[in-house]
Structure 1
Amino acid sequence: MSLKNASIVYRMESGEGRRVWSGVSLDIHRGEWIAVVGPNGSGKSTLASVLLGLNPLSEGQVQRRTNAVTQATRGVLQLPEAQFIGETIAEELDFLPQAGQLTAGERRSWYAEVLAAVGLSLSPERTMATLSGGQKQLVNLAAALAAGPEILLLDEPTAMLDPASRKEVREAVRQAHQRGTTIVWISHRLEEVADASRVVGFGAGRITFDGEPREFFYGEAGEKSEGFEEYEETEKIEKLKKFDKSEKVKKFEKSSPCVELGFDPPFVIQTAMHLLEQGLTLDPLPLNMEELAEVISCR
């Protein structure tokens, strides 16, 4: 799926136009996990509605391999109520194509399997109105995963969830990705970026960054697999003498796309930067607590 020079302008009651997107171009490749980040109002959530066919473009094109948008692409949006069709969990799942191919007995087992994939053990007869906001979001995710889409779009899918439920969601999405599903995950939780193979940053209706997670968090340092050593090899010796480790870290951190978008880096990134300031070489630069523990233990 691709966006080519896409722009969106909303017409106000006054007749004036409010430009939400300007010249956005993006290629989504099969099997990728893309994390989409950006401050509020930057245009990142618009991406989900455009790719799901819910928001027409004012200019540009959306190019898809197939015209069957609803079959190839499934989404979980910020407001779960906006996606419900059935009154009960069972009715919601019954709208999936594979439900019609099952007997009554098979369907009961299938309901339990679909819900368990996101950590739910609810009765299929529960009405949607009796669920908490987090449970509703998990039911939406369960239905989206059960459809087996080529592309799964998630717009702040963990926003209303507690830490345990967020862990269940991330694991369920990881498994879908391992089965070949392309993931586009929109989030303000930067710790979730560590799961991605690619980060797309939005700012003021434009794409301001498109690259790997380490480059997003560490700036120029994230492009070097050996931490700061290549920096020392590629700069002139006399210039290097003017910088100590702390100043180099500040240089890299200042140029970090994460910081430039107005975010504070996650705890793991801040900890790694502090260790680099102390003169440690971390290879690779860690993205999560597990990687941080591993690189420290190997020293």
Structure 2
Amino acid sequence: MLDQTNKWYVTTCYNGCITDNYYTDGDTLVNNKMHKILDGYHYISRTFLLREDVNEKKVYLTKVTGNRKDEFLLYDFAMQEGDSIQMNNPITPFPSDGGYYQLDSIRTISNVNNQLLKHFYLSPTNSNTISTQPAVWVEGIGSLSIINAPGGYPDINGAGHVTCFYKNESLFYSFNSPLNTQCAIPEESLNLIVFYEPNDSTWYVKNTSQVLTVTLFDVSGRKIKTFHNPNEVQMTLNINDCSSGIYFLNFEIKNQKNQVVKIGVW
């Protein structure tokens, strides 16, 4: 699962939506075993360490607190359908001891590079009185919720959903959302800024010199309207006929190779 560098993008929505990222940044030796250091997002303390046993297909999290080092088994990609695992979700919005989960099915789905990845679909066992929601793991990525929540339900409107994942700076996975969001260009490289004035039914977007069109979607993925950019560095989006709620924006842009691509901004 862990290459030299790894970066996960996670989208969460509450009153609004935001996409944040966390990543591995450096190596360290703990208990005579090599670990990757997590950084970014909720991991800026750099005390969350990942370790992978490639032969056993298992991934562990070590949490360092002072002189204390606690290790948790997060993933077992050697599981077969019908197997069960005691789920650990250390330091997450989910129960730390998530109880036992059963692997219901394994499906093979191609990623953005046409590589076949195993998707693991798990659910609480009948005897589990702690957790009620299912979980999804993807081979090479981990949970589609946050990395240290293998028992977390991937939900954009909850604790979040992995929308993009990079290995060694190359896109490895993109969430096939109703918006068909692509991760070809990281949002921060464009420095797009979306804002609005209080009591105003207009949105404004700054730094749009590369933007061709902006398409507005509702949370169900239904296209509401499209705005075209006449080569302006700031766009005005009139949404006076839209009701209150959560919306998604897809930006069609030209990248450095003069290719037209789409990215999602929430």
TM class, shorter-length: 0.3 to 0.5
Higher share in helix: 1
Larger Rg: 1
TM-score, normalization: structure 2?
A: 0.33
